């Protein structure tokens, strides 16, 4: 299953019943708000079909998801290596943006001391997933984090578009030109003195 619609369609097929459009959107909105990982959709499908005789109503699906997440009944991120970038994405989903950026900064500080070869795989993965948040305008960082999490597993191969809320990065050109002018002025002054 590649997305939440696939889950709903597969459930409908399994029970040979249909949700109406509003119910389908409610279920998908709920999964999106819970930031339910795509990698665990098969587990959710198995949990629902093993425990329910009839196509569960939308509120029942919400209860199944909540109860299984609380009890650990759904294995989230199955098949992901514990140090993978996606694991780092989901690991920090409840962190504040400041905590995420502080962790990125700490990893970069460590990298300055020990080089990249001295970093753990999870640290490199964390930077790969989260460091671009520091280039987002501060007032939009929570929104950017939400977009990244909503993008879910696709974030690894198709990172969500954030350029519309990023700070404009301008190359520094004038500093070099001013410096060159000062060097010429100093050279001329020295020529005049000697």
Predicted confidence (pLDDT) per residue in 87-99, tens digit: 788 888 889 999 9
**CA-to-CA separations, 102 to 9, 107, 167, in angstroms, rounded:** 41, 9, 19
- For 8-23, the DSSP string reads HHHHHHHHT----HHH
Residue 191 predicted with pLDDT over 70: no
Question: How do the domains of the chain map onto residue ranges?
Answer: 4-71, 85-165
For residue range 7-54, what is the model confidence (pLDDT) as tens digits? 999 999 999 999 999 999 999 888 888 777 777 788 888 888 888 888
How much is the pLDDT for 144? Answer: 94
Alpha-carbon radius of gyration of the chain = 25
The string over 46-59, giving b where at least 16 C-beta atoms fall within 10 Å of a residue's C-beta and e elsewhere, is: ebbeeebeebbebe
For residue range 144-170, what is the model confidence (pLDDT) as tens digits? 999 998 887 788 888 889 989 998 877
Q: Which pLDDT band holds residue 172 (cuts at 50, 70, 90)?
A: low
Q: Which pLDDT band holds residue 102 (cuts at 50, 70, 90)?
A: very high
Q: Which pLDDT band holds residue 185 (cuts at 50, 70, 90)?
A: low
Residue 4 predicted with pLDDT over 60: yes
Nearest in space to 49 (alpha carbons), one of 16, 95, 25: 16
Q: Which pLDDT band holds residue 174 (cuts at 50, 70, 90)?
A: low
Q: Which pLDDT band holds residue 100 (cuts at 50, 70, 90)?
A: very high
Q: Are 50 and 14 in contact (CB under 8 A)?
A: no
Between CA 135 and CA 166 the distance in angstroms is 6
Q: Which residues lie below 8 Å from residue 55, measured CB to CB, with a gap of 6+?
A: 11, 12, 14, 15, 17, 19
pTM of the model: 0.52
Between CA 31 and CA 25 the distance in angstroms is 10
Question: What value does the mean pLDDT of the chain take?
Answer: 82
Around Cβ 170, how many Cβ atoms within 10 Å?
A: 6
Between CA 61 and CA 65 the distance in angstroms is 6
How much is the pLDDT for 130? Answer: 94
Q: Are 90 and 77 in contact (CB under 8 A)?
A: yes
């Amino acid at each position: 299953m590649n997305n939440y619609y696939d889950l709903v369609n597969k459930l409908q097929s399994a029970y040979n019943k249909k949700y109406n459009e509003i119910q389908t959107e409610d279920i998908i909105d709920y999964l999106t708000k819970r930031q339910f990982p795509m990698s665990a959709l098969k587990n959710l499908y198995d949990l629902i079909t093993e425990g329910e005789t009839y196509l569960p109503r939308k509120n029942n699906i919400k209860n199944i998801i909540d109860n299984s997440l609380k009890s650990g009944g759904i294995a989230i991120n199955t098949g992901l290596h514990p140090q993978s970038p996606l694991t780092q994405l989901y690991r920090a989903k409840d962190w504040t943006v400041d905590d995420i950026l502080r962790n990125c900064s700490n990893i970069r500080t460590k990298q300055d001391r020990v080089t990249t070869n001295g970093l753990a795989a999870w640290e490199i993965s964390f930077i790969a997933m989260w460091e671009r948040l520091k280039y987002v305008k501060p007032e939009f960082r929570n929104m950017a984090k939400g977009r990244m999490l909503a993008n879910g597993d696709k974030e690894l191969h198709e990172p969500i578009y954030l350029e519309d809320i990023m700070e404009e990065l301008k190359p520094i050109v004038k500093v070099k030109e001013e410096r060159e002018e000062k060097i010429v002025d100093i050279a001329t002054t020295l020529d005049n003195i000697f």
